[in-house]
Amino acid sequence: MSIGNSPEDERPFEDDREQALSVGRALKQARIDAGLTVDDISNATRVRIAIVHAIEADDFAPCGGDVYARGHIRTLAKAVHLDPAPLLAQYDADHGGRPAPTPAAPLFEAERIRPERRGPNWTAAMVAAIVAVVGFVGFTAFKGGDDSGAKTQVAEGSTPSVSKSASPTPKNNKPATPKSDPSDSAIAAAPQDKVTVQVSAADGRSWISAKDHNGRLLFDGLLKQGESKTFQDSDKINLVLGDAGAIQLYVNGKKIEDDFQPGAVERLTYTKGDPQVG
């Protein structure tokens, strides 16, 4: 009888060691097996090189929080052809469970949903124009007559000036035709009783997640370059963009001009109406 373990006895220990790979080591090993460099992964996912190195070393502090770390893990896993679900489960187990996403929405709504800008007060402008015309006509009538004529104008009061001011009034009605804010025309094509969000991966690919106002998941996955998704709800749409710099947004028919940075994770909430007034 020999003392010690045979090669067959040691194989389970090797399997256990493979199963015990950390999240960062698993991502790094999959990248190496795929023949990719850190630069390749950074260019493909828009995740900064420093963050890729940190995650592969199991240092998630540069990610800026659990929500961002989970988004980066999901993006990197798909880039190296790994199933992100086991890695996310392992990350949650190592960091106290999955973070609750609900507190972040009110913080964004306070920043993104801004008071509606009031358009020009055409009514006040029209009244001022009418007053100016009436004053000008009265002044002209007063100066045009002689002393007796002037006295007659004064004695008769404002009746002649009112009759003369009636004719220029239609001319001053023209500026009052644009009764709505100019921004309304930009969203006229979208349904007014719903919020419509179109997400397009214009400058690269990005992981996105979309939920309706009840928290129901509408989409959760990778949007490749050139692809687009449209979401609609009666109240609001909640978005999480894994790489906001690669995304172009149209909300209620209007393009969002926010300067999203490459590799930045953004949590957004949009409701009905003009999405970016002010």
What's the CATH number where 42 sits?
1.10.260.40
For residues 8-13, give the mean pLDDT: 42
219 and 143 in one domain?
no
* Per-residue pLDDT tens over the stretch 147-172: 544 444 444 444 444 444 444 444 55
239 & 135 share domain: no
- List the CATH number of the domain containing 224: 2.60.40
Q: Is residue 14 part of a domain?
A: yes
Question: Does residue 234 share a domain with residue 112?
Answer: yes
> Do the Cβ atoms of 270 and 197 come closer than 8 Å?
yes
**Domain membership flag for residue 189:** yes
Same domain for 229 and 212: yes
Mean of the pLDDT values across residues 172-178?
Answer: 50
CA distances 273 to 59, 188, 251, Å, are: 42, 10, 9
Number of domains present in the structure of the chain: 3
What integer pLDDT is reported at residue 124 of this predicted model? Answer: 84
- Co-location of 240 and 222 in the same domain: yes
Give the residue-averaged pLDDT of 254-258: 86
Residues 112, 250 within the same domain: yes
Q: Could you tell me how far CA 193 lies from the centroid of its own chain?
A: 19
Long-range CB contact pairs, 114-121, < 8 A, 24+: 114/276, 114/277, 114/278, 115/277, 115/278, 116/181, 116/273, 116/274, 116/277, 116/278, 117/181, 117/183, 117/277, 117/278, 118/181, 119/180, 119/181, 119/182
Indicate if the pLDDT at residue 219 is higher than 90.
yes
Say if residue 138 is in the same domain as residue 192. Answer: no
Predicted local distance difference test score (pLDDT) of residue 109: 47
Q: What is the pLDDT averaged over residues 103-121?
A: 55
Residue 103 resides in a domain: no
**150 and 88 share a domain?**
no
Across the range 216-241, mean pLDDT stands at: 91
Q: Are residues 147 and 172 in the same domain?
A: yes
Average the pLDDT over 17-29 and give the result: 79
In this prediction, residues 261-274 reach a mean pLDDT of 86
Convert the pLDDT of each residue in 38-59 to its tens digit: 999 999 999 999 999 999 999 9
Q: Is residue 101 part of a domain?
A: no
> Does the model's pTM come out above 0.85?
no
Does any domain span residue 53?
A: yes
Q: What is the mean pLDDT of residues 103-107?
A: 48
Q: What is the pLDDT of residue 21?
A: 82
Q: Is residue 278 a part of any domain in this protein?
A: no
Which residues pair with residue 254 across a beta bridge? 251
Q: From residue 263, give the alpha-carbon distance in Å to each of 16, 68, 105, 266.
A: 35, 10, 20, 10
Listed range (145-149, 210-214, 267-271) with the worst mean pLDDT: 145-149
pLDDT (tens digit per residue) in 88-104 = 999 998 887 665 554 54
**pLDDT of 245 higher than 90:** no
Q: Which residue has the higher pLDDT, 12 or 265?
A: 265
Average pLDDT estimate for 77-98: 87
Residues 189 and 145 in one domain: no
The mean per-residue pLDDT over the stretch 165-192 comes to: 50
Q: Tokens at residue 233, please? A: 């709800």
Q: What is the extent of the structural domain holding 199?
A: 108-116+185-271
